[in-house]
Chain A
Amino acid sequence: MIVAELKEIPEIRKMIDRYSSILVVGCDSCVAECAAGGQRETMLLAAALRLSYAKDNLNPVITDTCLDRQCVDDFIDRIANLVPDHEVMLSLGCGAGVQALARVYQDKPIIPALDTLFIGETEMRGVWQENCLGCGKCKLGHFGAVCPVTRCSKKLMNGPCGGSKDGRCEVRPDIPCGWDMIIKRLDTLGELDRLNEFVPPVDWSTSHSGGPRRVIREDQKP
């Protein structure tokens, strides 16, 4: 899922202070799972903004609503009745949600309330781990299902760098060395032989380096 974090109120206010009516739009999917932009967080942000404005003796109209998914038009359409009454939409979706709102409501300013961080997993409540960069050519089968593109700070393909110590990355001691994880996992599986082979330079053209990507599935079109 996509992991995101709420921006600080002063940063949000800098972007929305010029408007007098604000529609706060949450998203009840990925960003709800990471407790950044779901129903609860949307309500809380609206309340926090009201309080913040009240302190400055300001009283903009602030309405909050939450979509099941902010990146799908069918869901976005469901707030069509609320949109005309507000000058701006403050989105608690990921970057894709923000842009989807902007595409559907072309005459409305859309402001992000979240910083979109990464594709990750929920390790436990309150802990989210980045483990996919969406490079477009999944190599996990080769590396024991631990991604060197994401989990190694240097994206190394042919083994650990010289900075790994006690299974920790040179970048920060709280980062586990991705290569230590790969080697241990393949060792457990008895598949260390996978690593003897030289991995040639990666084809990054399937990643963002090839420009914005688009998937078209004719069989899925209506």
Chain B
Amino acid sequence: MKTESRLEKVLKSGHFAVTAECGPPKGADAAVLEEKGKFLLGRVDAVNVTDNQTAIVRMSSLAASTILKGLGHEPVLQMVTRDRNRIALQSDLFGAYALGIRNVLCLTGDHHCFGNQKEAVGVFDLDSIQLVHTVRSMRDKGQIIGGEPIQVPPKMFIGAAENPFADPVGWRVVRLAKKVEAGVDFIQTQCIYNLDRFAEFMRQAVDMGLTEKVSILAGITPLKGVGMARYMANKVAGMDVPEDLIKRLSGVPKEKQADEGIKIAVETIRKVREIKGVAGVHLMAIEWEHKVPEILKAAGLDKRPEV
């Protein structure tokens, strides 16, 4: 074991891992996290705490992770390089570890033009792969960028995202290989709707021997209805929502579409479990955390292993 992360233990002992996303509130109310978190407690192996997702100002992921940890969760601290330079990122890693956080997900982040602070300066001092490399050097070499030694290194279990559906297609797995080389321990993918393309991505990853070195968790986002499906297909960067899925949702009455979305999510979980190299699922039930227990139960994943 490289770290004291529960997620690492689950993955290393060969269990099919389950993680879920918990977005911090647009405000300073800790009770929101308690409310959202109660649906996830004991039902998932770790909870991803998003970092100002889609560049919208929210409670900091470090603060929200700490609050969730206090409520008994195992947080995965998401960190985007969009908003903070290497000084702030490394300093937050020290702080996070000191506060008992053992997992970090290294991201570049959506461009700030999508959020509610379009006039902001985008920092992008590091890219996500450079952040992975930085955390790995801090943990394994006990060094910050530039080589200065750290007295107590933050021993983080290191994650990153990968999008099998973005272009150029042939490049996605090469980028995954770079993340593995940089020192990533686990990957959570973009929401999967196009199973064929995901299967092809996994086949390439298995062929290149990447799944021996990194645990890949398949990203699942239940669709709430045909409106959301269309929005995801047309407006969200890097999404691949096939037309037949949109047709399937539009074929059911409006009040039944949410149930159909959940059904699709459960089917997707069952299908990705069959794909070689998939080590777990990552549920991104955007503002729908209360539906996670139902989805996991239907997918036969409601019992979490003792590790």
B163 to chain A, nearest CB (A): 3
Q: Is the CB of A162 within 8 A of B125?
A: no
A5 to chain B, nearest CB (A): 19
Partner of B124, one of A155, A163, A170: A155
Q: Is the CB of A201 within 8 A of B125?
A: yes
The 0/1 profile, CB within 8 Å of B marked 1, for residues 165-193 of chain A is 11100111000010110011000000000
For B175, the chain A residues whose CB sits under 8 A away are 158-160
Chain A, residue nearest B82 (CB): A154
Q: Is the CB of A164 within 8 A of B238?
A: yes
Partner of A196, one of B86, B113, B124, B174: B174
A155 and B128 alpha carbons, distance in the complex (Å): 11
Known contacts A163-B238, A171-B111, A158 near B129 by CB under 8 Å? yes
For A157, the chain B residues whose CB sits under 8 A away are 127, 129-130
The 0/1 profile, CB within 8 Å of A marked 1, for residues 99-139 of chain B is 00000000010110110000000101111111001100000
A49 CB–B CB distance under 8 Å: no
Chain B, residue nearest A154 (CB): B124
Known contacts A163-B238, A200-B133, A201-B130, A171 near B113 by CB under 8 Å? yes
**Complex interface residues of chain A between 200 and 222 (CB less than 8 A to chain B):** 200-202, 204
Q: Is the CB of A201 within 8 A of B126?
A: yes
A111 CB–B CB distance under 8 Å: no
A161 CB–B CB distance under 8 Å: yes
**What number of residue pairs across chains A and B have CB atoms under 8 A from each other?**
97
Q: Is the CB of A164 within 8 A of B130?
A: no
B246 CB–A CB distance under 8 Å: no
For B110, the chain A residues whose CB sits under 8 A away are 163, 170
Partner of A160, one of B113, B145, B166, B190: B166
Partner of B237, one of A170, A196, A198: A170
For B113, the chain A residues whose CB sits under 8 A away are 171-172
Q: Which of A158, A159, A162, A172 has the most CB of B within 10 A?
A: A162
Q: Is the CB of B166 within 8 A of A161?
A: yes
A153 CB–B CB distance under 8 Å: yes
A155 and B166 alpha carbons, distance in the complex (Å): 17
Q: Is the CB of A159 within 8 A of B130?
A: no
A156 and B162 alpha carbons, distance in the complex (Å): 15
B228 to chain A, nearest CB (A): 19
A84 to chain B, nearest CB (A): 41
Known contacts A158-B175, A183-B171, A165 near B166 by CB under 8 Å? yes
A199 and B130 alpha carbons, distance in the complex (Å): 8
A196 and B167 alpha carbons, distance in the complex (Å): 17
A164 to chain B, nearest CB (A): 5
Q: Is the CB of B167 within 8 A of A201?
A: no
Q: Is the CB of B130 within 8 A of A165?
A: no
Chain B, residue nearest A204 (CB): B125
B304 CB–A CB distance under 8 Å: no
B231 to chain A, nearest CB (A): 15
Q: Is the CB of B166 within 8 A of A164?
A: yes
A156-B108, A158-B127, A167-B167 provided; 8 other pairs, C-beta below 8 A? A153-B111, A153-B122, A158-B182, A163-B237, A164-B238, A165-B237, A196-B177, A201-B126
Question: Which 9 pairs, one residue from A and one from B, show the smallest C-beta to C-beta distance?
Answer: A162-B163, A163-B237, A170-B237, A158-B129, A159-B175, A162-B238, A155-B124, A156-B127, A163-B238
B-side residues, CB < 8 A to A, are: 82, 86, 108, 110-111, 113-114, 122, 124-130, 133-134, 145, 161-163, 166-168, 171, 174-175, 177-178, 181-182, 190, 237-238
13 A-B pairs within 8 Å (CB atoms) are namely A154-B127, A156-B108, A157-B127, A158-B129, A162-B237, A163-B163, A163-B166, A167-B167, A170-B237, A171-B111, A196-B177, A201-B86, A201-B130
